[in-house]
Amino acid sequence: MIVLGLETSCDETAAAVIDGAGKVLSHAVLSQISEHKPYGGIVPEIAARSHLSHLDALVQNAMNDAGVAYKDLSGVAATAGPGLIGGVLVGVMTAKAIASVHGIPFLAVNHLEGHALTARFTDGVEFPYLLLLVSGGHCQLLAVQDVGKYQRLGTTVDDAAGEAFDKVAKMLGLGYPGGPAIERAAKDGDRNRFDLPRPMKGRAGCDFSFSGLKTAVRQAAESLPAGDLSTKDVSDLAASFQAALVDSATDRCAGAIETFRALYAEGNTLVVSGGVAANTALRSALMKTCEDAGMKFVAPPVALCTDNAVMIAWAGLERLKLGLIDPLDFKARPRWPLDPDAAPARGAGVKA
């Protein structure tokens, strides 16, 4: 089996070809960061136009690098949601056109399922497992029961973790994307200089909250002498913020491990995935939490945590193996929760 995967839901245009054994035959990722940087965040219209300009050539390169002809493909998978709908449509229409012209199955992949199943591709993790999905748009704890079967244990009631990183980075003048910039600035900073809150710490349940932490960083910055923040102030604020966010997130995970175990006695792995899973401080803290709880901890390589097409091809392959192919009139979805039965979280907008 050989699957082509396309990813266009946010600010990365990506195409990958993988085989049935899960070997990556090719992977091309084109970041749009320089196009959005002047605006301090992602501009949906620019993102959609850029995907449209680059996707065809990127797909052709991925096919050439893999040394695979279209007739050799067993299926073509594309992120069909959730995400910025203009970009999602570009990927979905391209995949449908390839599927239609070459008479191969089309696989509509939920971007979040791409992140969720990555650990099965990289580490062969068995179902069920506990997943911390932390990205720019989402922050959830899920029991991954099977392909297409998820139980949401908790979610953010306001901002997503990546959103908090991005907003605080903007506040500190560190630019976009915020996560890597905060992590770099925090390296030289004093994480104990500012006494920031740990939202939800010690509370029952598995929900998150980050908007109060963001406000506390703003207040701490405003409490400093007027004028531009010094490099040291920025580093100390970044380090204090990162430490507080990691502390709050790991506390929620420690509670979720207990909840998960009570529900799924056979599960013994915590997986972290999504762009924020690239954060070294978060990875180390989660490893410690898992050690303390006697859980196995799996964090995919950083390049497969941030948005990529390998994860879409892999999720497509898992679905194809189960016969879960989609019709060519499948509609792209701006919103597509993994657990449709979970109650919407108050204040979280589309992040539930």
If we measure between CA atoms, which residue out of 147, 124, 77 comes closest to residue 322?
A: 147
Interatomic CA distance for residues 29 and 143, integer angstroms: 29
Closest separation in Å from C-beta 297 to Zn ion = 20
- Name the residue type at position 314: W
Binds 8: which of Zn ion, ligand KG4, none (CB < 5-8 Å by kind):
none
List the interface residues with ligand KG4, window 167-186 (CB under 6 A).
177-180, 183
Q: For residues 7 and 326, which CB has a smaller minimum distance to Zn ion in the complex?
A: 7
Radius of gyration of the chain (CA): 20
Closest separation in Å from C-beta 14 to ligand KG4 = 10
Binds 244: which of ligand KG4, Zn ion, none (CB < 5-8 Å by kind):
none
If we measure between CA atoms, which residue out of 129, 146, 150, 151 comes closest to residue 324?
A: 146
Closest separation in Å from C-beta 137 to ligand KG4 = 5
Given a contact cutoff of 8 angstroms between Cβ atoms, the answer to whether 186 and 242 are in contact is: yes
Stretch that binds ligand KG4, among 142-150, 160-168, 223-231, 246-254 (CB under 6 A): 160-168
The dihedrals phi and psi of 83, each to the nearest 5 degrees, come to 160, -170
List the interface residues with Zn ion, window 113-142 (CB under 5 A).
135
Q: For residues 91 and 178, which CB has a smaller minimum distance to ligand KG4 in the complex?
A: 178
Q: For residues 26 and 135, which CB has a smaller minimum distance to Zn ion in the complex?
A: 135
When binding is defined by CB under 5 A, the residue of 7, 307, 318, 339 that contacts Zn ion is 307
Closest separation in Å from C-beta 307 to Zn ion = 4
Q: Residue 12 interacts with Zn ion (CB under 5 A)?
A: no
Long-range interactions of 93-96: CB distance < 8 A, separation 24+:
94/6, 94/55, 94/56, 94/59, 95/4, 95/6, 96/328, 96/330
Binds 276: which of Zn ion, ligand KG4, none (CB < 5-8 Å by kind):
ligand KG4
Binds 183: which of ligand KG4, Zn ion, none (CB < 5-8 Å by kind):
ligand KG4
Handedness of CA 155, 307, 326, 125 (dihedral sign): negative
**273-292 footprint of ligand KG4 as x/- string (CB under 6 A):** -xxx-xx-------------
Given a contact cutoff of 8 angstroms between Cβ atoms, the answer to whether 234 and 181 are in contact is: no
When binding is defined by CB under 6 A, the residue of 6, 10, 14, 16 that contacts ligand KG4 is 10
Both tokens assigned to 189 = 């900073």
Q: Render the burial of 313-347: b for 16+ CB within 10 Å, e for the rest.
A: bbbbbbbbeeeebbeeebebbeebbbbeebeebee
Tokens 């657990």, located at residue: 339
Interatomic CA distance for residues 273 and 117, integer angstroms: 9
Q: For residues 16 and 239, which CB has a smaller minimum distance to Zn ion in the complex?
A: 16
Q: Which residues bind ligand KG4 (CB under 6 A)?
A: 10, 135-137, 162, 165-166, 177-180, 183, 274-276, 278-279, 306-307
* Contact positions vs Zn ion (CB under 5 A): 135, 307
